[in-house]
Amino acid sequence: MKSNPNIQKSIMRLSVPLVTAALFLPALGTETHGATVIIDGIEVTEPAAVILGNADGESDTTTVKNAGAEWNFPGDINIGKAGSGTVNVEAGAKVENFEYGVAHDTYLGTTTTGSGTLKVTGAGSSYATNRIYAGLRGDGEVTVEDGGKLKTIFNS
């Protein structure tokens, strides 16, 4: 899939405190084109799996930060599928990819041109998934520091 040169880099900031949002962030779907999304202090639930850095040459970043911020989605996440993707979980935020009690997988650097980064930092910050495939065919990096937690649950 080629990038559309008419689509400019987008920045979406969601920061309405103590609100539960059930919405689809179009910047995170399969048509990403250099998106930056910041989820700050609210809960966001996606209706589908997530792809960041879908095409070669594209770069997408999602930052989930501050206590009360949660990002949930019911499927696998590809961070840097063929392009570059980054997920930052900071300052007490939580990310989970579960659906009906079943955890899904996280892929970083899915194809040979893909590069994915997952960083979980700060006390209370957590990322929960079934399995993590870092550098599946491309480059993958996972960093957990300063009290952040990474939880993997293998569904048998």
pLDDT 10s digits, 103-121 = 789 999 999 999 999 999 9
Q: Is residue 59 part of a domain?
A: yes
Q: Is residue 1 part of a domain?
A: no
Tell me the mean pLDDT in the region 7-27.
37
Non-local CB neighbours of 91 within 8 Å, separated by 6+ positions = 65, 66, 67, 121, 122, 124, 125
Q: Is residue 73 part of a domain?
A: yes
| pLDDT higher than 90, residue 126 | yes
Q: Is residue 70 part of a domain?
A: yes
Q: Is residue 2 part of a domain?
A: no
User: What are the structure tokens assigned to 62, written together?
Assistant: 């999602």
Q: Is residue 3 part of a domain?
A: no
Q: Which residue range(s) make up the domain with 129? A: 10-152
Q: How many domains does the chain have?
A: 1
Among 46, 44, 28, CA closest to 36: 28
Per mean pLDDT, which of 8-17, 65-74, 80-89 is the most reliable? 80-89
Q: Is residue 84 part of a domain?
A: yes
pTM, rounded to two decimals: 0.77
On the 0-12 / 13-18 / 19+ scale of CB atoms within 10 A, 91 is: buried
- Residue 43 banded pLDDT, cuts 50, 70, 90: confident
